[in-house]
Structure 1
Amino acid sequence: MTTKAKKKFRSTIAEAAHETASGLHRIGLLDAKTMREFDAACLTTIEPLTGKQILALREREGVSQGVFAHVLNVKPKLVSEWERGEKKPSGPSLKLLSLVKARGLEAII
């Protein structure tokens, strides 16, 4: 038995539109290319963040670097390096930060 990961949509409207498009794709009325474009349009976008933006995001959420790191599943030192601009988040960490930016910390807890 496999479970499908829940996708994080921009809004409930985007989720409903995506569900409709998925149904149309399943029955062959929407091609794979169009479905991929729908995925990109409906899902939370990933954008690069500066150290200042990451610091502001953490402060907006009202958590320490340690708590923020724990929620993001990284070391507190890495959060500090991001905030100082010494390193840049990428991959899954950047996706999680984008979700926090768009929906708040509750979206990933």
Structure 2
Amino acid sequence: MTKAKSYKSDIKAAIHQTASDLYEVGLIDKQTMHRFDESCLTPVHRFTAQEIRALREREEVSQTVFALYLNVPKDSISQWERGEKHPSGPSLKLLALVQKKGLEAIA
């Protein structure tokens, strides 16, 4: 299973796919591919503890309910909001979706 990539635009998606193909056959090096990644892919926003808490409060849900929507333990939400741990991977994507479109987008 491959991870779906989020592109800044359709044109950048096409450019990135071409660059990926060239990288796979050895026509461009890793450093060049990294530059294509940075210019074409949407950056992942790293949420602060305050942003996560504000997001949950904006949606008017408890930590337990927020955890159920994000499919993580309630303790994770608590630790994120205290800054003890930080969300990563799918949790970051879900938080970004909630930030943009609201909790109903992942319901």
TM-score between the two structures when normalised by the length of structure 2: 0.60
Instruction: Count matched residues.
Output: 104
Say whether residues 1:92 and 2:85 are aligned partners: no
Counterpart AA for 1:8: S
CA contact (8 A) 2:45 2:96 kept: no
The percent of aligned pairs where both chains have the same amino acid is: 38
Q: Aligned partners of 1:93, 1:100: CA distance in 2, in Å?
A: 11
| Letter aligned with residue 39 of structure 1 | D
Structure 1 stretches (4+) deviating beyond 6 angstroms? Answer: none
Runs of 5+ consecutive residues of structure 1 not aligned to the other structure: none
Equivalent residue, structure 2, for 1:16: 14
Structure 2 match to 1:38: 36
Counterparts in 2 of 1:46 and 1:29: CA distance versus 1, 3 Å: same
Residue of structure 1 equivalent to 2:73: 75
The TM-score normalised by the length of structure 1 is 0.59
Greater length-normalized contact order (CA 8 Å, ≥ 6 residues apart): 1
Aligned pair in 2 of structure 1 residues 38, 95: CA closer, same or farther (>3 Å)?
A: farther
In the other structure, the counterpart of 1:6 is 4
